[in-house]
Chains A and B, each alone.
Chain A
Amino acid sequence: MTATKKDPFKDLFFRPTDIASVAAFRFFFGALLFFSVIRFMAKGWVGQFYIEPNYFFTYYGFSWVKPWPGWWGMYLHFSLMALAALGIALGFYYRAATIFFFLSFTYVELLDKTNYLNHYYFVSLITLLMIFLPLHRAASLDAWRKPDLRRSTLPAWVLGSLQLQVGLVYFFGGIAKLKSDWILQAQPLKIWLAARPEFPLLGPFFQEAWVAHAMSLAGLLFDLSIPFWLLWRKSRPFAYAAVVAFHLMTVKLFYIGMFPWIMIVAAMVFFSPGWPRRFWPKSWGLFSEAPPSLNAKPATRSGPFQKLGFSLCGLYFLIQFLFPFRHLLYPGPVTWTEEGYRFSWNVMLMEKNGSVEFQVRNPLTNQTWQVRPREYLKPQQVKMMATQPDMILAFAHYLAEIYRAKGNADVEVRAEAFASLNGRPSQRLIDPSVDLSRVQDSFQPKPWILPFQDKGR
């Protein structure tokens, strides 16, 4: 009789792992998504950001994404999204709910760059991942109504992929902080902390420069290392306490909405796989069957859907690792040009403010108009556009359309744009001599963004 050949690959990725923790994650994360959507609606942001504006800064290649017509269209969209989130939480028609939520949430995000947030990007990624992860096979309405679905274990790569996704956010958040402004100048924390003298207990200390330096260093080390501390069983309790403390502090310090709560919940994927069983009575029947043996052999076969899911996950994470580095393909600091800035976990990395005006000129009649963006955009759009060159370009094109429609067969549009980065004096962001109406957007470097000059503070 020949001995079964050990397959370390299979051991690592396909070892049966208790389903309890990922099912709990599904519930808590889905509940958080539900709350977030309701909160968004309750604050009036559906109308403010997706109905009232006359213009939307869509992403390159996604100009076809438009808000639903009428005020009710977007509210219906958000209402259905909330229901989908509930479906995820309860594990009710889970896969359909997850697919719908991913598509509907991502659609909203694609409507306007103005509202880009890193944690929105994270939500899109996680829900995309969850489509391929069978998180509904326990503690769900699906498992209750279809007992055949029930499982007590899932292959290890399912939990591993969630851990990797969450870990990536922290790790790349730390990589993003490897910049001289953050490390040597303690910017932007120096500015932000000084603006919070009323912070309980620590407020007076926030007025001291050395505290900003210490917190910058601590934040950097936290981001880079916390995934590993969470993975290690011995340090996990302390690491999670640090996660909670860190994010609760950011709740008090900054206006960052749901981000801290999302990460506090997301970090639970690092808990031991069977942790929920300690808290839920067996009689509830949430997790059928006994906990798996720690020595259980990996499944010798996995279903075709799981193999496909595993392969796609591999490709997905390869992209995840490479994507945040794309800014290296562009000249100049990414905090200045913002080429490759979004979707790279540049979280709370800079204090950047700008001021932009546009000059529209009809070369045939030599008439010129100075246009204040506020005449066409909402305040939030004006603020975000002022520091982001790709949005400045998009608005220039929009202005050109407007003035052509007014009877100017040919127009030129130029931007008078200044920006201040991390406490530095304002400097020109865009070449004022370039007619932006003739510049086509692309992934190529943008030569009309003026080089950054690191002037003193």
Chain B
Amino acid sequence: MKSLSIVLLVALLAIGGCASPLAPPSDQLFKSLGYGVILPIYDDFIDESALLSDSAAELCSGPSADLLAQTQDAWRRTRIPLKKSEAFRFGPMKTLGVDQAIDFWPTRPENIEEVVAATEPIDDTFIENLGTSAKGLPAIEYLLFDPEGGNEQILVELNDPATGERRCEYLSAMARNVEAKAVLVRQAWDSEDGHFLRDLITAGGDSDAYPTVSAATSDFVNSMIFLAESVQGMKIGGPLGKRSGGTPDPESAESYYSDNSLNDIIANLEGLQSLYLAKYGIEDGSGFDDFVRLQNPELADDIADQIEAALEAVRAIPPPLTEAVVHHAALVETAYEEVRQVQVLLEGDFAGVLGSTVTFSDNDGD
């Protein structure tokens, strides 16, 4: 019996190989992602939304072509960190309802025009109480961009003696609301008023939100998968005609009015890449690639390479997307397939190697 035990032990050691950790410390990963990627992106979102708010206020003091162009540019710049943050759209962004409040699309022009035509005074409280389809960056986009009439039409509307002032008040109030929401989310992540990042870092320990590390990684994984699926199926697939029998449907593109669709998608994928590699700006920390590398070095590189391939494919599409789906459909199709492969890798291999639960329910499983 004793000799059998020894044989078994030796066999186990032989099969298991030398001690080799299967995963790096989770707190290190979450710290790296939190301080290196998530908080900086939210900080950028605050900065850009503040500039948007200032630009909108200046525009409304006297609408002009230059000020309109400046505000449009501020709007585009605000989109970048927001779209990057879609890679980790869980936590305060969701629980506080901010995602819907500032980024509801497709835009519903009728709801926006209804507000313009109403008489109730517009202030911050009024905006706060509005339905999600009548506020946020997509609603601001509708007031700033006109794909048919161009900037001239926008200036006509903003200078209209009957509704122009109200239209501008509405625009400015929405911009202030977006800035306020950006600050709210950032504070909820890490400040005196919020500690969601601490809950992530202490997952499996003192965390209020995550009883296990696996629950925390599942939130990241599901968010990343959802983003890849959304980019492929809706943001590219929709305009490409994948949902309309093969006939291109440019009006279904995100940021249709501003023709900012490709920039949005690129920012989405860059956010995904930043999160996966824990690399934002000049910061390069321990990311999911390091996490995966310990179990499967080849997979770690495959995912990184595929995200980069998807980015390159999207960057190769001549803007705007609304025209590319008609005139450069092959390039858009290539991007569609590359993003699909990102989704497959995330949903299958990535989720599998992390042992995370690709679901949104806590039902039992055996």
Contacts and interface: CB of A to CB of B under 8 A. Distances in A.
A131 B344 CA distance: 47
Contacts of A323: none
Contacts of B213: 195-198
Interface in A198-234: 198-199, 203, 206-214, 217
| Max count, chain A CB within 10 A of own CB: residue among B15, B21, B343 | B15
B362 interface: yes
Contacts of A372: 229, 233
B349 interface: yes
A353 B229 contact: no
A56 B216 CA distance: 30
A374 interface: yes
A424 B340 CA distance: 19
Interface in B214-236: 214, 217, 229, 233
Given A191-B352, A367-B245, A457-B296, A118 B21 contact: no
Contacts of B351: 353, 420
Contact of B17 (A203, A209, A426): A209
A195 B365 contact: no
A254 B365 contact: yes
Contact of B295 (A191, A199, A206): A191
A453 interface: no
B234 to A, nearest CB: 8
Contacts of B212: 196, 198
A353 B358 contact: yes
A354 B347 contact: yes
A424 to B, nearest CB: 8
Contacts of A355: 343-344, 347-348
A254 to B, nearest CB: 7
Contacts of A254: 365-366
B12 A194 contact: no
Given A207-B21, A208-B16, A194 B295 contact: yes
Contacts of A426: 344-345, 348-349
Nearest to A429: B348
Given A351-B355, A379-B360, A369 B204 contact: no
A425 interface: yes
Given A194-B355, A420-B349, A213 B12 contact: yes
Given A198-B204, A353-B348, A379-B361, A348 B366 contact: yes
Contacts of A198: 26, 203-205, 212-213
A380 B12 contact: no
A379 B20 contact: no
Interface stretch (A86-94, A256-264, A300-308, A432-440): A256-264
A188 B364 contact: no
B23 A117 contact: no
A422 B299 CA distance: 13
A416 B343 CA distance: 12
Interface residues of A, number: 71
Contact of A368 (B22, B25, B245, B366): B245
A192 interface: yes
Given A117-B365, A256-B364, A208 B19 contact: yes
B242 interface: yes
Interface in A400-457: 416, 418-423, 425-426, 456-457
Contacts of B295: 190-191, 194, 423, 457
Contacts of A293: none
A235 interface: no
| Max count, chain B CB within 10 A of own CB: residue among A117, A184, A426 | A426
B342 to A, nearest CB: 10
A347 interface: yes
B246 interface: yes
Interface in B313-366: 340, 343-345, 347-349, 351-366
B299 A209 contact: no
B347 A353 contact: yes
Contacts of A49: 363
A180 B212 CA distance: 29
B322 to A, nearest CB: 19
Contacts of A217: 8, 12
B243 interface: yes
Interface in A378-407: 378-380, 383, 386
10 contacts: A117-B365, A191-B354, A194-B23, A209-B22, A210-B13, A254-B365, A255-B364, A369-B243, A378-B361, A383-B358
Given A208-B19, A256-B365, 11 more contacts: A191-B295, A196-B204, A210-B16, A255-B364, A257-B365, A257-B366, A353-B352, A353-B358, A368-B246, A420-B348, A423-B353
Interface of B: 8, 12-13, 15-17, 19-23, 25-26, 203-205, 212-214, 217, 229, 233, 237, 242-247, 295-296, 298-299, 302, 340, 343-345, 347-349, 351-366
Going nearest first, the 7 A-B pairs with the smallest beta carbon separation are A198-B204, A257-B364, A210-B16, A367-B245, A194-B22, A420-B348, A426-B348
